[in-house]
Every structure is written in C-alpha cells, then in structure tokens.
C-alpha cells in the first residue's frame, strides 16, 4: 500500500489527477472486496461451528 500511495503522490505532482484518482479508486475497491471476503469467511466459520 505504501507503493500505491507513492504512485498517487507522483501522479499528483505531475498534475495527472485522473491517474491519481484511478489508483485511489482501485485501492478503495480492493479494500472493500477484502472486507467483504473476511466478513464472508467469518460468517461461514460461525455457521460451520453451529453458533
């Protein structure tokens, strides 16, 4: 994630706002997908334990 932040800062310094926004949106989508996957795994584990 630090590399992605550096890429965003570099894009902003080059006045490439569309590129910086695209990288940020990809990071945001990836984080939501990871949260969704973790939540799904927790629900699956709870259902498997019978609680």
Structure tokens at 50: 């019978």
The per-residue pLDDT for 26 is 95
The per-residue pLDDT for 6 is 93
d(Cα 50, Cα 38) in Å, to the nearest integer?
Answer: 18
Q: Where are the domains of the chain?
A: 2-46
What does the pLDDT look like over 1-51, one tens digit per residue?
689 999 999 999 999 999 999 999 999 999 999 999 999 999 999 999 986
The per-residue pLDDT for 22 is 96
d(Cα 10, Cα 26) in Å, to the nearest integer?
Answer: 16
The per-residue pLDDT for 27 is 95
């Amino acid at each position: 994630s630090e590399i992605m932040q550096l890429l965003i800062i570099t894009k902003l310094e080059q006045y490439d706002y569309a590129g910086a926004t695209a990288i940020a949106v990809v990071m945001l989508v990836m984080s939501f997908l990871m949260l969704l996957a973790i939540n799904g795994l927790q629900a699956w584990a709870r259902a498997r334990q019978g609680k």
